[in-house]
Chain A
Amino acid sequence: MDILANLWLGLSVAASPINIALCLLGVLVGTLIGVLPGIGPIATIAMLLPITFNLEPVGALIMLAGIYYGAQYGGSTTAILVNMPGEATSVVTTLDGHQMARQGRAGAALAIAALGSFFAGCVATVVIAVLGPILSKVAQSFGPAEYFSLMVVGLIAATVLASGSVIKAIAMILVGLLLGTVGSDIETGAQRLTFDIGELADGINFTTLAIGLFGIAEIIRNLERPEERGVLDRKITGLMPTWADIRQSFPAVLRGTTLGSILGILPGNGAVLAPYASYTLEKKIADDPRRFGKGAIEGVAGPESANNAGAQTSFIPLLTLGIPPNAVMALMVGAMTIHGIIPGPKVMESNPTLFWGMIASMWIGNLLLVVINLPLIGLWVRLLKVPYRLLFPAILVFCCIGVYTLNNSAVDVVLVAVFGFVGYGLLKLGFEPAPMLLAFVLGPLMEENLRRAFLISRGDPMVFVQRPISLGLLLVALALLAVVVLPAVRKKREEAFQED
Chain B
Amino acid sequence: MRLNTVAAAFGLIGLVATAGAAQAQDYPTRPITMVVPFAAGGPTDTVARLIGQSMSKTLGQQVVIENVGGAGGTLGAARVAKADADGYTVLLHHIGMATAATLYRKLPYKLPDDFAGVGLVTDVPMTIVAKKDFPAKDLKELITYVRANKDKVTLANAGVGSASHLCGMLFMSGIEVSLTTVPYKGTGPAMNDLAGGQVDLMCDQTTNTTGQIKGGSIKVYAVTSKTRVPSLPDVPTTTEAGAPNVQVGIWHGVYVPKNTPAPVVAKLEGALQAALKDETIKARFADLGTEPEPMDRATPAALNAYLKAEIDRWAPVIKAAGVYAD
Contact = CB atoms under 8 A, between A and B. Distances in A.
Interface range, B side = 35 or more
A44 B217 CA distance: 32
Contact of B215 (A46, A202, A268, A322): A322
B14 interface: no
B180 A333 contact: no
A323 interface: yes
A189 B325 contact: yes
Nearest to A330: B41
Nearest to A452: B182
A485 interface: no
B154 A409 contact: no
A186 B185 contact: yes
Given A184-B325, A189-B161, A189-B325, A330 B188 contact: yes
B191 interface: yes
B215 A144 contact: no
Contacts of A383: none
Contact of B71 (A140, A184, A187, A323): A184
B211 A342 contact: yes
Interface string A249-262: 00000000000000
B211 A143 contact: no
Interface stretch (A90-98, A219-227, A343-351): A343-351
Interface string A137-157: 000111110000000000000
A347 B210 CA distance: 12
A16 interface: no
Contact of A342 (B108, B185, B210, B326): B210
B174 interface: no
A306 to B, nearest CB: 23
A325 interface: yes
B69 interface: yes
Pick from A184, A327, A344, A455 the residue with the most CB of B within 10 Å: A344
Contacts of A190: 326
B185 A334 contact: no
Interface stretch (B3-11, B22-30, B44-52, B238-246): B44-52
Given A189-B326, A407-B70, A331 B212 contact: no
B188 A331 contact: no
Given A344-B215, A346-B211, A455-B180, A334 B161 contact: no
Pick from B70, B184, B283, B326 the residue with the most CB of A within 10 Å: B70
Contacts of A199: 70-71, 75
Contacts of B214: 342, 344, 346
A198 interface: yes
A340 interface: yes
B185 A344 contact: no
A456 B198 contact: yes
Given A142-B196, A189-B323, A322-B211, A338 B69 contact: no
A53 interface: yes
A42 B43 CA distance: 16
Contacts of A125: none
Contacts of A344: 210-215, 217
Given A198-B78, A334-B41, A344-B210, A191 B188 contact: no
A225 to B, nearest CB: 38
Interface string B31-72: 000000001111101100110010000000000011111111
B196 A342 contact: no
A51 to B, nearest CB: 11
Chain B facing A: main interface SS: mixed
A393 interface: no
A188 B324 CA distance: 7
Contacts of B154: 455-456
Contacts of A343: 211
B112 to A, nearest CB: 20
Contacts of B198: 143-144, 456
A321 interface: yes
A49 B49 contact: yes
Nearest to A336: B211
B215 A346 contact: yes
A374 interface: no
Contact of B42 (A334, A452, A455): A334
Interface in A105-152: 140-144
Interface of B: 39-43, 45-46, 49-50, 53, 65-72, 74-75, 78, 103, 108, 151, 154, 159-161, 180-186, 188-189, 191-193, 195-196, 198-199, 207, 210-217, 283-284, 287-288, 323-326
28 contacts: A42-B40, A43-B40, A45-B40, A46-B41, A144-B193, A144-B198, A184-B160, A186-B183, A188-B323, A189-B161, A189-B326, A191-B326, A201-B71, A201-B326, A321-B217, A322-B191, A330-B39, A333-B41, A334-B40, A334-B42, A340-B284, A345-B195, A345-B216, A347-B211, A407-B68, A407-B75, A456-B182, A456-B199
Given A321-B195, A324-B188, A346-B215, 6 more contacts: A188-B160, A188-B324, A330-B186, A345-B195, A408-B66, A456-B154
Closest 5 CB pairs of A and B: A344-B211, A46-B40, A345-B215, A334-B41, A189-B160
